[in-house]
Structure 1
């Protein structure tokens, strides 16, 4: 065997059979040190009693772990929405479902904002009678439904006179055209209907000359009214002459 092995055997026997006091150590020293380090408090204990402790601390401010039932209505609604999305889209994580709910609510807020802006702009348009970028001359236009639905009770001659006083040529041509439809209907040449187009009326007219006059005046109306082109006095007088001559042929 090696010397190292014999050395281990010697140390083993030496540690078992040699007493502690043989090397100058006191075996009771660690126990005495432990006993001396422990402090014993012998002061009298003042016993305290608390009555109605639960009743005094049952308010909402003392609830530190809140459940959904103890939260506000908005928190409960978001939790319900989160559970709904999680079930609907089979989301396996509560955090992902909560993030999806936050995104959905943000999209909802944006849509509501856009709708509010839309209705505000629409209210402004209806009040002014035109789009905010439209021509200021259209602001006094009578709503289409008020005229076209009551075409037989409308005094177009008076309306045209008012439009000409204000140099509103486009509006005057519009009244001339509606006056023309009224006259054609009264003469039983066309069957007037608000939903019909110029092409519909053109196909109903049987007389060739009347067809040609109607086609020309319809062209003038579409160009001036729907095209929103500014026309000078000379152009207006030319268009006005075409309408008045056509009306005179119908009154014969």
Structure 2
């Protein structure tokens, strides 16, 4: 009987101890539900500071054309190690200057060849095509066109006819080789040295009269004409 009573007491106390241990273990495993905590995040200043650092810049950069990148690096080294951005700005500025220069040069050529009239002047309704094809023609046609220009009081065209006739005579004497695409400077370099200075002065008079921004009256024409007549005599017309 005593043995059974002992076993019964052990079972009672053992079950109680087991229940107590399970409660303790469950309480220790469960997190504290009533504890307070603060969510912390970096401020904007902190974030911007790291964004400004090159080491933390993860912006994807598109690779430029290889030749353009090499050229910018070469130009940057030539400029004493300037940054790529500065070099690109300088290069863009130079391209703009070249483009503007090309436009002005094209306008100059159009004015010089008579395609357009200078600003503030009305283009003369003279037979410019006939005048431009006068070179390598004959003297009779020269006199006819000159008479028509003087009759219309178109003294600029008259001076142009005189100059083209000089080119015609120089070509006939084989002192120059006339070509419609040549400039007056080309003829100055081409003409023999003994007549070069006189022809240079004649070309200067022609440029001033025909491309100067002023009207030419009969008095100015008469003062100009003798330069051409004297040169024609010198050539042997």
Q: TM-score, structure 2 length as denominator?
A: 0.46
Q: Which has the higher contact order (CA 8 A, sep 6+)?
A: 2
